[in-house]
Structure formats: C-alpha cells, structure tokens
Structure 1
Amino acid sequence: MIDATHDPALRSWVESANGHPHFPIQNLPLGIFSPPGGGAPRGGVAIGDRILDLPAAAALLIGEAAQAAAAAGAPTLNALFALGAGPRRALRAQLSELLAEGSPARARVEPLLHAAADCALHLPARIGDYTDFYVGIHHATNIGKVFRPDNPLLPNYKYVPIGYHGRASSVRVSGTPVRRPSGQLKLPDSEAPVFGPCRRLDYELEVGVWIGPGNELGEPIPVGEADSHVAGFCLLNDWSARDIQAWEYQPLGPFLAKNFGSTISPWVITPEALAPFRIAQPARPEGDPAPLPYLLDDADQRAGAFDIGLEVFLETPGLRERGLPPHRLSASNTRHMYWTVAQMVAHHASNGCDLHPGDLLGSGTISAPDEAGCGSLLETTKGGTRPVELESGETRRFLEDGDAVILRARAENPGFVAIGFGECRATVLPAR
C-alpha cells in the first residue's frame, strides 16, 4: 500500500503543508466544510492550513477520482464512503499530483483553496449507528481492578472483542461544547438515589473508525476482507458520567452515563494515509488464547495494528487566566489495542449484522500500561482519590465546568513524513 503519495521527498506548492504537524501532502484527509461567508456544506481535503473544495475540483480529475470528488458534493461523505477503496485511492493519487510542487495544474487548483481558519467544519458523515468497543486492555484492567481486584478482566475479554451499541444522535464535531449531564446518583450517605448534575464527569481517549461500503443483512464480513470496509479514522472522546454509570449500569450496561455526548475530530484520516504506520499486532502474553478462527487472519496479524501516538490535554479556566498552556494528562498509543480494527469489524458483522456507510465504531479507551498513559481521569486519579495538580494551583479529580479536553494524535515512522489527526476538543458547560 506504500506508493508515490507517501514519498518523504514529496512537497506541495501549498507552502503551509510542508512541515505541517498534521496535514502535509502525505496525509490529505477528508472532511465536510462550509466555505467563508456561508454556503452549503461540501466535501474538502485538508492541505496545510488550507481546505481544497472537492466537488469544485472534480472537473480537474478523471475516472474513479472524479467519481469520488463528485460524491463529495453532498453535505456528508456517506456517498463517498460507499464507493470503497478503489475510488478513494484514485482520488488520493490524483490530488497528490495536483497539489505537488511543480504541478502544471496549480493555477487552476489555487482558486479552489480556502483558508481553514475561515471555514466551518461539520460532522463528516450522517452516522446511522454507533458502536463502542472495549479493546484497550490496560484500561479494561485498570477499571476491573476497582471492582474485581483479584480478577480484573472478565473471562470473555480475551475471546470476544467486547462492544455495546450506543447512540448516534449526540455525536458532535470538535469545538462543540458538551453539557454536563444530570441523572440518578446513588450517594454514599443515602439509601435512595437522587436526581441531579453529574459530579464525576470524565473523558475517554478513543479512536473512531468510519465504515465504508458495509454488508448486507445476514452476510458476515470475513476478517481478511474487513479492511476493505473501513473508510477512515478519527479521534473520539466518549464522555462518561462515572457516578450515573455506577448506579445504572447493572444489568444492561451504560445508558444515560454515556448517551449525553461524544466528540469526534472533523477530519477522516484515510487507511491509505496510515499505510506507513501499520505494524504487526503485538504478540499476546503467554497463556492468552489465540483468536477464534473467524477472527484470525495472517495478513491482519502481520500488519493490522497501528503505531499512532495519542495525547490528552486539559485546559482549565485557571490555566487560561494565567496564560498557561494546557496540561498534558496522558500519552498513549494505538499499539495498546488488544484487538485489531479488522477484528472489530469482522466480529460486529459475524452474526449477519449489517454495517452501513457512515457507521461509526469506537475503539474504547486506549490506555498505556504505565500511569502516565491512562486514558481517563478515573484511572489517572485512582477513582478521584489522587487529584491531578496543575501549574495554576488548581486540582482535578474529575472535570469541572469550563474545562476543555483536547485529544491529539500523531503517526510517526522513520523514513516517512509524520501526519496528525487534527484536534478533538470540547469545553464542559454547566448542567441545566
């Protein structure tokens, strides 16, 4: 999957792309934007600090690439996702040529660029269904220790890519505030629950997976073909109201503790852009069972995982007032996922469940094995018993009103140009 679009010597005539921390010409992520001054949302590609209008560029493209650009003329990328990998790869290849240094098409392409700072970004797709997995084994272990110190992982964890069906209606794009939820709380000093604002609001560091073509109802997706049904990736903050969840989650799992909001980054990082950052799935610890045959594919085991650095930052009112930078809470990596993306997709469809273009899967919280890599405050603060101390003099056990959580991701590999995901950011508003 490595081709000319990944060439580290490749430079763009869009000067801001050269050395850009997120969007060099080797990335070319997809998204939905509105140009300055309004206008209908349409597909775009990030290049440095600019956005290329995809439907406007369709006339400069041929074949499947032109088909893909035309499909991006809608206010969502669902139609483009449905086309699959072939048109998406053709689009990437031809856009790379158009935007490369020395391109004879520069004069025709340049008027189709907009300053990203002047554009509005939207959800990339109309999300039909949302499923959250639980493939971060260190997070699962840390959380399990709170409830089952002697046996933190349930017996099924190493056999099943555990997931649950969430809701799509409250997924929002980065920059949209999240309202502190209210719900039933069981306080330590009361026999009956009370209804009120969440007191233990938390974030969860996740990666989102966008579904491409999908499958028909009743037709499973073999694990060896699952990658062809992935349209791209994003960052995902799956907010969690820990105190509401503690009371409501038995016997059916989280409900109001999760469905009040999830935040995703606006740019879809394509599988092609991430090709240089694929790695072998880390070997399972000795004694762990091998995946069942329907989840086991040699090619997926050789190159089905990713090496993507993940970070979480906290920006508080006190830090802002003092002109201090956001505080880094965590640094983790996608290599800590116990199951691959292909295994998640294959398992989801193994019973014949149909996946549709624009469906969103969450990885579940991705924590590193060390304490500096916890993917949630529940882990970092040991359930609120060990507060985080900030340079502003503030402390945090859980999130307070006015706090902003910022997720970032960066893929690096010697010999290739590093790419980023852009930010996934949201500020907490007070409960109503």
Structure 2
Amino acid sequence: MKASAFLYPWDVVGDPEAADRIAALGVHRATLASAYHSTRALTPRHPRHRVVTARHAAVLYQPDARWNGRALRPYPAADWAPGDAFGTAAEALAAAGVEVHSWVVLAHNSRLGEEHPDTSVVNAYGDRYPWAPCIAQPGIRAYLVDLAAEAGARPGARGTELESLGWYGLAHLHAHDKTGGVRLGDAGQYLMSLCFCAVCREGYGARGQDAEELAAAVRAALQPLWRGAPPRGVSPGGASSRAASPRGAASVGASPAGGDGWAGIEALLGEDRAAAARAWREDAARTLQEAAVAAVRAAAPDGFQVLLHADPVPYHCGANAGVDPAHILSVADGVVVPCTGGPGLLTPFAEQRRAGAVLAANLTVVSGMGGSPATLARDARAAAERGAGELRLYHAGLASDGDLATVRKALAQL
C-alpha cells in the first residue's frame, strides 16, 4: 500500500536532514500543511527548537491579492512559519524524492470567530463557538471556497487534502478544555452542535420549523443531562457506546455500527424537528463541498488530486466532515477516513466507491497520542480488507525516533 505522512512546514524548514528522513521512512508522499488551525506542536528532532506555538489559525504561505479589501481573509503565520514556509518545505521534500500534497484546514478558525463573532456557530443557548464558523453563512462560504482554492493548489503540490470541510460543533481540542464535566453522549453532542445564528434560523424556517421552538426543544432534550442523567448510549455504570479517540481519529457522533446514532437524536428532538434541522445542515455542507472541490480544480493543473477528510455519516461534525459516501465520491477524487479506532468507517465508502476513487485509511502512529505504530502493518492489512488502497500516517513530525523506526519497519513489510 502506498503511504503518505502528515507534516508541518516547521518540521522541515531549518532542518537540513528532515526531507531525507521522511524519504527514508518508505512513504511515497508527504501531506504538508498549507493552512492550519492554532496549535502547540512538539518537534523532537529539529536542530533549532523543540516546541512550536502557532498562536492562531493561519496560512503557511503569503496570501495573494484576491483577499484585498475583504473583511474575511486568511491570516498569515508569524514567526512559527514566516514567508512561504509551505513552498520552502515542499521544495526540500521534492528534492528528496517525496511527492507533496497540500493539507488544508478550512472551517476551524478561532481567530476568525474572535474578530468576526457573527460568523460563528451559535448553540441553542445563545453561546458562540468562535472556533467553528457557520458554513451556512454566505460570507463564510465564499471565504472557505477561495481558501480551498488558494491553499489547496499551491505551487509544488500535486494534490490536496481538505480537512474540516463541513460543520464543526461543540467538540474541539481547546487549550485547558473543561467541557467534559457532563457526559453528553452522541446525541447530546449533536444537539449542542446545532447552529442558531440568523442564517440558520431562516434555514430552519424555510423547512417548516420555527427556530425558537426548535431551540427550546433542544434545551428541553438536554436538560436531563445537566441534572446528571446518563446520556443515551451510556450505561449508568459509565461505559460509553463510543470510545474516545485521539485527534483526527473520529468525528462527533455515533459510529454506523453502534451507539444511539440518529434514532437517539430523533427520540430526543422528535422526528420532524430532527429531519428539518438535518436537511438544512446537510444541504449546506454538501453544496459547500461541491463548490470547494470545483474551485480547487479550477485553480489547479490537470491531474491534480482532491481528497476530503471524511466521516461516512452525513450529520456528524468535526475535522472529518460528515458526508454521504455516494455523493462525495461523485464529487471528489476520494476520501481520507479515520481508522485509528478500527477500519469500520471505511466500509460505507468501499460499498459506493467508483473506479479510480482513492480510499485512504488514516492511522495515528504517535504512541504518545494513542497511536500504535507497533501494529501498523496489521492495521494496514485490516484497512485493505475493508477497501483502503492507501495509508495516511499521523504524524511524522510529532512522532519520536522510536515510533518512526517502527513505522519504517512496518512500511517495509507492506
């Protein structure tokens, strides 16, 4: 199986040995960040630093004139990735024989939400989620489509992977996060992720649901959880129907094979209300995904590959956007699917896959982040049995020397 390793530009820039080290892993490609959210990242081998703090979501190159005069525009990185850091890293990787694809994080941007609060998802209680831009808003949609085109089709890249091209909600890897005090379960997480900004309120109304009544129904459905009742799909003893996963491993919501899933949401909210909210949100996500993929293709050379980080359940939220497998495989060139918790999410895509579509299994290989590099060969074979033809390894820049040595041996076996 072909494999690609995720990287940040700062893993490569300033380290003359980095590109050759990546090539020696046995990967055929690097999936290199060109637009990324705020983060604090370890750099275990870099000769100049050990920790990089990216203080806000940023593009890791210099944005062009298309953004002049626009209120919503990408923020250039500061000292953690100055200038065209993506381009510099891409050149070094290409010189080492490693193909480069861009890695673009889209609807996940805390600085945008802080500076333009009206663009954020608003929950049923009126709380804003500054990290989660509302993808139904026309201004946000235009911003995301143009960002996908610019950050995706970078010089030196032969393809792109689009992350967070869909709804984001309550769940967020936030600094000093204190939101786990009440167990919400799958359905509770979804209800806390529904947006009630002005645009979404109009959208619900167009589908026959009064937004105030819908918000009140959401609050009523959640009230038992605040009192300490166990969420749907969680037994009083505490075992959840869905295990926690490391970053990048899953979207918010129940897996197709277990948990309360959509039936639990309908039970809490009512079938009509749940269906109306879902229809509005899925239409917003689907049409945004279509527009973004088309914009990347228009900006890129022939043969440029466009993949989405995706979850096969359309109502799910998170970095792996909820999609309809048949639809997204008719739009994009393929998908990257979280498989650290097992290969089950691959099956709905494999069942719908058209000829030539890419189905890539995303596996965490950083043992300190819940990954299992020691079982990479076994996990890759299990993913192949479910239809995966490629691997994504999260994350070559964050992994220890020992983890990388184990990855190298596993890839040699494959």
Common topology (TM > 0.5): no
RCO comparison, higher one (Cα < 8 Å, 6+): 1
Q: Point out the structure with max Rg over C-alpha.
A: 1
Q: Comparing both structures, which one devotes a greater share of its residues to strand?
A: 1
Which structure has greater helix proportion?
A: 2
- TM-score scaled to structure 1, two decimals? 0.27
TM-score by length of 2: 0.28
